Amino acid sequence: MVVVFVLAGLAVLGAVVALAMGKGGELAGIQPDHVPLPPFSGRPLTGAEAAELRPPHSLWGYNPAFTDEAMRRMAYSLAERDAQVTALERQLAELRAGGREEPPPLPWDEPVELTKVEREEDE
C-alpha cells in the first residue's frame, strides 16, 4: 500500500516538473468577453458617444483593459477640444486687438427698412 502512494506521489511530482519546464503544451489564448471598442478613427469622441459608453463588468469591478482604453480616448478628445478652444480664444483676442473692440453687427441686429408694399400689407 505504501509503495502505491510513493509511486503515485512520484508520478504527480514528475508531471509537475514536466509542466513547469514547458513540456505540457500551452494554454489556449484568452478571448475577451465583451464587445471591443470601435476602431480609433483619430477624431475626438462626441458627448453622445461618451455617454453611451458602458464598460463591461468583470469579477471584481470593471474590465481594466477596456476601461483604460476608453479613458485614453476620452483624454485625447478633451485635449483636442482644449487645443481648439485655446486657438479660437487667441484668434478672438487678435481680432479684438486689431482695432475693433466690438464684434461686427449680426444681420438680424441691423434695422430693416420696409418698402411701401410691405407697409401697406401690414395695415
Distances (CA, A) of 109 to 33, 58, 102, 106, 119: 58, 57, 13, 5, 20
User: pLDDT of the chain along its 123 residues, tens only?
Assistant: 899 999 999 999 998 888 888 777 777 777 766 667 776 677 777 778 777 777 777 777 777 888 888 888 888 888 888 888 888 988 888 888 876 556 666 555 556 565 555 545 555
**18: Cβ contacts below 8 Å, ≥ 6 apart:** 24
pLDDT at 18: 84
Question: What number of residues does the chain have?
Answer: 123
CB 76 within 8 A of CB 83: no
Confirm whether 55 is domain-assigned: no
DSSP-assigned letters across all residues of 37-69 = PPPP-SSPPPHHHHHH--PPEETTEE-HHHHHH
Confirm whether 24 is domain-assigned: no
pTM of the model: 0.47
Nearest CA to 44 out of 70, 67, 21, 76 is that of 76
Query: For the chain, what percentages of helix, strand and coil (3-state, to nearest 5) are there?
Result: 55, 5, 40
Count of structural domains within the chain: 1
Q: Residue 86's domain spans which residues?
A: 65-100
Rounded Cα distance, 53 and 65, in Å: 14
Confirm whether 45 is domain-assigned: no
Confirm whether 23 is domain-assigned: no
Confirm whether 88 is domain-assigned: yes
Confirm whether 106 is domain-assigned: no
Confirm whether 71 is domain-assigned: yes
